[in-house]
Structure 1
């Protein structure tokens, strides 16, 4: 009896797996200033990028949630990015500052803070 062929390792891109790259990117969405940067560079207007943001919603599922360092703001911003109106408005520094203030307030109100 022969043993099954070994499972090939996950390909790496620049030394990182796709999982690692997507984890780092999705966590960066917790930053309102990064969202503003994406808008200023017109990424949020690109249909392919918007489709990628939709694809990243798999991070909302339990097997993946445990890997997120800041699940609250990460998932909230990922959800907001699904809305065309938010993608247009995040370029406004006032909207960015409101998100930053909201995040700071939530952190200060967190039990044990």
Structure 2
């Protein structure tokens, strides 16, 4: 998004960190929304991102999207927030590499495929 759009979203011009024309918030928003795609989460698992403590802390940091002032920016809030929640669980991060889990998430949705996991 361009700077005027960021200002319209309540981001202040000089208070915003810019990376290649996008604000940090926009990049975090895009990444958080990408997590609603089980195939992307499986890719991250295959690349061993879920074994990196810094990355796990970053996933925890992204929980700020639960706040109403940020939640309104999510295009798919249900799947995005559910995946952020699931990724807080070590066992889910380990299981995310499984094609069977990915297929279940794609076919049955987040609630049905993860019914046995704690919420």
TM-score range relative to shorter protein: 0.7 to 0.9
* Counterpart check, 1:66 vs 2:72: yes
Identify the match of residue 25 of structure 2 among 19, 30, 37.
19
Unaligned runs of 5+ in 2: 1-12, 113-119
Distance 1:9 1:62 in 2: 21
Normalising by structure 2, we get a TM-score of 0.79
Corresponding residue for residue 42 of structure 1: 48
Work out which structure has the larger RCO, using CA pairs closer than 8 Å and 6 or more positions apart in sequence.
Answer: 1
Please provide the CA RMSD for this pair: 1.8
Confirm whether residue 96 of structure 1 aligns to residue 96 of structure 2: no
Map of 1:57 onto structure 2: 63
Q: Distance in 1 between matches of 2:110 and 2:84?
A: 18
- Preserved CA contact (<8 Å) 2:63 2:84: yes
SS of corresponding position for 1:87:
helix
Aligned length: 100
- What's the TM-score once normalised by structure 1's chain length? 0.83
Structure 1: tracts of 5 or more residues without a match:
1-6, 107-113
CA pair 43-104 structure 1, distance change in 2 beyond 3 A: closer
Task: Name the larger-Rg structure.
Answer: 1
Could you tell me how far 1:61 is from its partner in structure 2? 1.0
- Output one character per residue of 1:2-56: Cα deviation in whole Å (capped at 9) or x when no partner: xxxxx72512111110010000000000000000000000001100000000000
Give the CA deviation at 1:91.
0.1
Distance 1:104 1:62, change over 3 A: closer
Tell me the distance in 2 between the aligned counterparts of 1:104 and 1:56: 19
